[in-house]
Structure 1
Amino acid sequence: MDALGKSTTLNLLNFKNLSIRTFWITSIAFFLCFFSWFGIVPFMPDVVRDLGLTPDQKWNSIIVAVTGTVFARLFIGKMCDKYGPRICYTWLLMLGAIPVVLLGLVQTPMQFIICRLFIGFIGASFVITQFHTSIMFASNIVGTANATSAGWGNLGGGANRLGMPLIAAGVVSFGIAETEAWRYCMVIAGVVCFLMGIVYYFFTQDTPNGNYKELKVKGELPQSKKDEVSFLSAIKDYRVWILFVIYAACFGMELTVYGTMDDYLQNTFQLERVTAGNLVLSFALMNIFARTLGGFFGDRFGRLKGLRGRVLFLAVILAIEGVMLSLFSGMNGLTFGVVFLVGFSLSVQMAEGATFSVVPFINKKAIGSISGIVGAGGNVGAFVAAMVLKSKSAIAEKTAILDNQGLGEDVVNAAQAAAASQAVSEGYFLIGIFVVITAVVSLAIKFSTEDEKAIQKEMKGIPVPN
């Protein structure tokens, strides 16, 4: 422990330590939120058939799920600064469970889309997780703690590919019709989220020294009403917006690339759908360690070169991410394609971890607001990149279909697949260039000499007033 009661190590088996206990609970809560958020994805063919969704309705449900998260992240960050992470996470889990349960009860496409919009709000869980670990761990280890909790929580978005079918199989074993299994799975996921909200309330606390409510009464809360940094103040800091773009360039691009990778692998390398899906899932599972590596090296460079060292590492890993994706976009052979795709997967997740090894040091009185803004950047980046890829691919496919009309279904399908592959390949290349440019821009993040000295004191265990 440091002088402020924050943990200086990440000893995951020390459950008596409040910071470690909080780390586990917030990571599990984050995992469950992402599991529920993307829980319907494995069942989309059943949903389309059951509710009669049109292609436009299907895409609209995907878009609103991401869009809702942007606003929720911006809002929840400010709430964390004001009320603390414990109350915010409790309410998010319990209220967020409602649309998850209701998704299993919908009867019309419009009801389905509305539920997906509100389910997207639980994506704000990322912000609370990063906020809570940021105030529980000391400067020497906070990057590693943030990255690990985020990486393990993100696993929920990939684990549903394996977990939801298993839950469905269990439901069917009780005599439920297979076509109705997806409904029961969503209800179960919602109930688990609600119960996790109760756990969060009773088994965590806001800071190492107590909950916000009690600390305010005692006058010990570092942020009094007089000097509380508002959301408006946070958005005036240019470094916050650079980090917003950076997170769009890493997490946003990861969401977009993996969201389009199944079809791209099939069209480009002629892989079977199951093989392509399993390959993409394996990259998602790299979150077990890849994000942690980003946070770890962020902390390591921080010890060697101060706050500037954290920024330098972030710039380097971002540049590597961009280069890996650009090189992958030009690959026609599967072997080298997979090599560069692994390089991209590793570097993009490390960049995400490295980003949140910098965030806690921008302004310690507005960690929640800044985390919310930066986190929202990831979803904005994913939305913009997805729209670009979708538009390029749609135009190319329509042109290919028109140019090959009358030549037979097989010829048309092959031409359409080739056109889609080429369009997405060009899109990946452009995204890679954007990421490299962002890496250069990230070097503009500066810290004052006073900030550097304050962090050096913290690293030596000398208490620094907030």
Structure 2
Amino acid sequence: MSLNKLNPLDFSQPAIRVLHLTWFAFFLSFVVWFSHAPLKPLITETLDMSGAQWKALLILNVALTIPARIVIGILVDKFGPRNVFSGLLACSGLLCLAFAASQTFEQLALTRFLLGFVGAGFVIGIRMVGEWFPARQVGLAEGIYGGWGNFGSAAAAFTLPTLAVVVFGSLGGWRAAIACTGLIAIVYGGIFYWRARNTPKGSTYFKPKKSGGLEVSSKRDFWFYIAMNVPMYAILAVLAWRLGPSNISLLTQSSVYLMYLVLLCLFIFQFSQI
């Protein structure tokens, strides 16, 4: 199949069907991930939130994204994109429902923090699209995947306020609007598992012998790889500090110290895996 025959509307081709299944999964993950942002006035008024608390939610929403993409990448290598994307959509849908049902700021903060994992959906689809398209077409296919997927945040901004105010028509309408995105994600997770496949028929999905770290070929590369991981842990430590009593006061000082300890243990574990 030559490049000029890559027709995104040709659903008779299995690869095209998988491409559309996958970009829509990515699209949904962005709708879920940014479902709260366009509903700020309704959410803050319902729970009487301050500006600092809303900023904390925005920070928490992206806090897990970097480590989540590493974790999801490991899981994709081990279990395949079909299983991982289905599971991610189902779990994020449940967290979305929990966010919609939250009655306190602390509940909102916890569920929004955990929803940061859905931002790792991009990694899954890139691997799946790469398995289905040859090298001369994979760039175009991944462009379609990434472009339509990222549009999910804009789609959430266009539709959710209207859904909350016009359709559900009350101050608490934001809960129903966000819950709808969660239910759609759960249902589509099942559809994706049913219809998608990791590789074309007859192809083998290759898995690494060991997960948790990249293989390096020299001591210099080893230490460079370690150094490249330090900024991620530093950013997460700064986030814990920002949420502590000296700033937003979402965490106690003892909780902040516990977060530092957890990050140190994770760094040591990753060090050992590398």
TM above 0.5:
yes
Compute the TM-score of the two structures, normalised by the length of structure 1: 0.45
Identity of aligned residues (%): 29
Task: Specify the alignment match of 2:62 in structure 1.
Answer: 66
The yes-or-no answer on 1:209 pairing with 2:201 is: yes
Q: Deviations over 1:69-112 (max 9, x none)?
A: 22221111111111110001110111111111111111100001
Alignment of 1:148-159 (within 5 A): 148-159=144-155
Alignment of 1:323-362 (within 5 A): none
1:221 Cα offset (Å): 4.4
In structure 2, which of residues 98, 105, 108 is the aligned counterpart of residue 109 of structure 1? 105
Task: Specify the alignment match of 1:131 in structure 2.
Answer: 127
In 2, the alpha carbon distance for the partners of 1:153 and 1:27 equals 5
Give the aligned CA root-mean-square deviation in angstroms: 2.8
1:60 Cα offset (Å): 1.4
In 1, the alpha carbon distance for the partners of 2:45 and 2:196 equals 43
Maintained 8 Å contact 2:95/2:111: yes
Maintained 8 Å contact 2:31/2:153: yes
Q: Which runs of 5+ in 1 are unaligned?
A: 246-372, 388-466
In structure 2, which of residues 23, 30, 44 is the aligned counterpart of residue 27 of structure 1? 23
Runs (4 or more) in structure 1 with deviation over 6 Å come to: 235-238
Task: Specify the alignment match of 1:405 in structure 2.
Answer: none
**Distance verdict in 2 for CA 1:9–1:93, change over 3 Å:** farther
In 2, the alpha carbon distance for the partners of 1:52 and 1:181 equals 16
1:170 Cα offset (Å): 4.5
The yes-or-no answer on 1:190 pairing with 2:198 is: no
**Distance verdict in 2 for CA 1:165–1:146, change over 3 Å:** same
Task: Specify the alignment match of 1:93 in structure 2.
Answer: 89
Task: Specify the alignment match of 1:40 in structure 2.
Answer: 36
**Distance verdict in 2 for CA 1:8–1:195, change over 3 Å:** farther
Maintained 8 Å contact 1:37/1:119: yes
In 2, the alpha carbon distance for the partners of 1:127 and 1:9 equals 26
Q: Deviations over 1:46-76 (max 9, x none)?
A: 2112112222221111111101222221111
Maintained 8 Å contact 2:198/2:205: no
Bigger radius of gyration among the two: 1
Maintained 8 Å contact 1:39/1:160: yes
The yes-or-no answer on 1:232 pairing with 2:213 is: yes
Q: Deviations over 1:275-326 (max 9, x none)?
A: xxxxxxxxxxxxxxxxxxxxxxxxxxxxxxxxxxxxxxxxxxxxxxxxxxxx
1:121 Cα offset (Å): 1.0
Q: Aligned AA for 2:118?
A: I
In 2, the alpha carbon distance for the partners of 1:117 and 1:14 equals 39
Q: Aligned AA for 2:95?
A: P
Task: Specify the alignment match of 2:52 in structure 1.
Answer: 56
Compute the TM-score of the two structures, normalised by the length of structure 2: 0.75
Q: Secondary structure at the match of 2:213?
A: helix
Maintained 8 Å contact 1:14/1:20: yes
Q: Aligned AA for 1:194?
A: I
Maintained 8 Å contact 2:26/2:121: yes
Maintained 8 Å contact 2:99/2:108: yes
Alignment of 1:36-435 (within 5 A): 36-172=32-168, 176-177=169-170, 179-209=171-201, 220-223=204-207, 228=209, 230-233=211-214
In 1, the alpha carbon distance for the partners of 2:182 and 2:165 equals 18
Q: Deviations over 1:408-431 (max 9, x none)?
A: xxxxxxxxxxxxxxxxxxxxxxxx
**Distance verdict in 2 for CA 1:48–1:144, change over 3 Å:** same
**Distance verdict in 2 for CA 1:148–1:234, change over 3 Å:** farther
Maintained 8 Å contact 2:78/2:211: no
In 2, the alpha carbon distance for the partners of 1:194 and 1:88 equals 13
Maintained 8 Å contact 2:19/2:129: yes
Q: Aligned AA for 1:56?
A: A
**Distance verdict in 2 for CA 1:125–1:134, change over 3 Å:** same
- State the number of aligned residues: 228
Maintained 8 Å contact 1:52/1:109: no
In 1, the alpha carbon distance for the partners of 2:157 and 2:216 equals 37
